[in-house]
Amino acid sequence: MAALTEWKVPTSAQPRPEDYSYNLERALSSVVGLHSIIPPDAFTAETLGTERAGNGVLIDDKLVLTIGYLITEAETVWLHLGDGRVVQGHALGFDNETGFGLVQALGPVDLPMLPIGSSSAVEVGERVVVGGAGGRTRSLAGRLAARQEFAGYWEYVLDQALFTTPAHPNWGGTALIGADGKLIGIGSLQLERERDGNNEHLNMAVPIDLLAPVLDDLRRFGRVDKPVRPWLGLYSTEIEDKIVIVGVAPKGPAARAELKTGDVVLSVKGEPVSTLGNFYRRVWALGQAGVEVPMTLYREGVTFDVRVNSSDRMKFLKAPKMH
What's the distance, Cα to Cα, between the start and end of the chain in Å?
20
What architecture does CATH give domain 119-208?
Answer: Beta Barrel (2.40)
Topology agreement, domain 119-208 and domain 234-316 = no
Structure confidence by residue, pLDDT tens digits, 147-186: 999 999 999 999 999 999 999 999 999 999 999 999 999 9
Please tell me the distance from the alpha carbon of residue 20 to that of residue 161, in angstroms, as a whole number: 24
Q: Which pLDDT score is estimated for 22?
A: 97
Domain ranges in the chain are 15-113+213-221, 119-208, 234-316
- What's CA 36's distance to the chain center, in Å? 15
Q: Which pLDDT score is estimated for 2?
A: 42
* Mean per-residue pLDDT of the chain: 94
Residue 53, Cβ neighbours under 10 Å: how many?
18
CATH number given to 15-113+213-221: 2.40.10.10
**DSSP tally for the chain: helices H, then strands E:** 5, 18
Backbone angles phi, psi at 275, to 5 degrees: -130, 155
Structure confidence by residue, pLDDT tens digits, 63-103: 999 999 999 999 999 999 988 899 999 999 999 999 999 99
Please list the ranges in the chain whose pLDDT falls under 50. 1-5
Whether the pTM exceeds 0.75: the reply is yes
Q: Which pLDDT score is estimated for 40?
A: 96
Q: Determine whether 21 is exposed, middle or buried from the number of CB atoms within 10 Å of its CB (0-12, 13-18, 19+).
A: exposed
Correct CATH for 234-316 of 2.30.42.10, 2.60.120.10, 3.30.559.10, 3.90.1300.10: 2.30.42.10
Helix (H, G, I), strand (E, B) or coil at 193: strand
The amino acid at 15? P
Beta strands in 240-318 (DSSP E): 242-248, 264-268, 271-272, 292-299, 302-309
**Helix ranges (DSSP H) in the chain:** 24-28, 45-48, 212-221, 253-256, 276-284
**CA distances from residue 227 to 154, 252, 285, 290 in whole angstroms, order as listed:** 19, 19, 12, 11
- What stretch of H or E contains 67? strand 63-67
Tell which residue, 228, 226, 234, has the closest CA to residue 254: 234
**CA distances from residue 261 to 36, 68, 129, 227, 301 in whole angstroms, order as listed:** 31, 26, 39, 29, 15
Please tell me the distance from the alpha carbon of residue 320 to that of residue 91, in angstroms, as a whole number: 6
The amino acid at 13? A
Q: Which pLDDT score is estimated for 27?
A: 98
The amino acid at 288? Q
Tell which residue, 274, 152, 284, has the closest CA to residue 228: 284
Cis bond upstream, residue 166 (ω within 30)? yes
